[in-house]
Amino acid sequence: MISLSRMIGVAALIALPARGLAAQSCNIGTAPGNCTTTTSATVTVGKVVQLTLATTSTAITTPTITDYTNGYITGSGQLVSIRANANVVVQVAARTAAWSATNTTAGVTAWTTKPSTDLQLGPATTGPFTALTTAGYTLSSTGPTATLDLPVAYKVLLAWGSDTPGQYSLDVVYTITAP
């Protein structure tokens, strides 16, 4: 059983502030009165940026006679979302100078040197479009933003004599930097 004197001693220990925590103190000499102390809070905020791609890959539909006649096929490419508390630059480039090609039809060799510039990017399927190179280009340059969504449409150039049957793929690299 705990005695009353021990309970008072424990209560007194709980009521005492820990040493080193009280950087400022205030005393009231006579009642009534009041006492005020001031403290501050600080936080160091660094650059925080985020680049999100809506999908991990984009499949363009199989070209038709009309597409070959027009010399291209377009399709939805990517939705690029940016969030940043600082100025940012978003760049886009091809990982390689040529598409990779896989043969899909017996007796027909897929075009192994289809240039990356045969993929063009634009803000909509109606353009305007920019050819994709390994050097890339600036897709967006913006200041701080809670959300900036950039739709990117793809346009694939086609030629009767060179775009033979096969499966073609090209890695598209999106990079965000906060200068």
What is the domain-level CATH number for residue 119?
A: 2.60.40
Tell me what pLDDT residue 35 has.
86
pTM above 0.85, yes or no: no
Tell me what pLDDT residue 21 has.
54
Q: Is 167 helix (H, G, I), strand (E, B) or coil?
A: strand
Under-70 pLDDT residues of the chain: 1-23
Q: Is 15 helix (H, G, I), strand (E, B) or coil?
A: helix
Task: Specify if 125 maps to a domain.
Answer: yes
Tell me what pLDDT residue 10 has.
39
Tell me what pLDDT residue 23 has.
61
Task: Specify if 82 maps to a domain.
Answer: yes
* Count of domains for the chain: 1
Domain that holds residue 83: 49-177
Task: Specify if 158 maps to a domain.
Answer: yes
β-strand partners of 145: 84
Distance between CA atoms of 141 and 147, rounded to whole angstroms? Answer: 13
Decide if 171 contacts 96 (C-beta within 8 A).
yes
Number of Cβ atoms within 10 Å of the Cβ of 24 = 8
Task: Specify if 113 maps to a domain.
Answer: yes
Task: Specify if 4 maps to a domain.
Answer: no
Structure letter (DSSP) for residue 60: P
Structure letter (DSSP) for residue 18: P
4-51 per-position pLDDT tens digit: 343 334 343 444 444 445 467 888 878 788 888 888 999 999 999 999
Number of Cβ atoms within 10 Å of the Cβ of 61 = 10
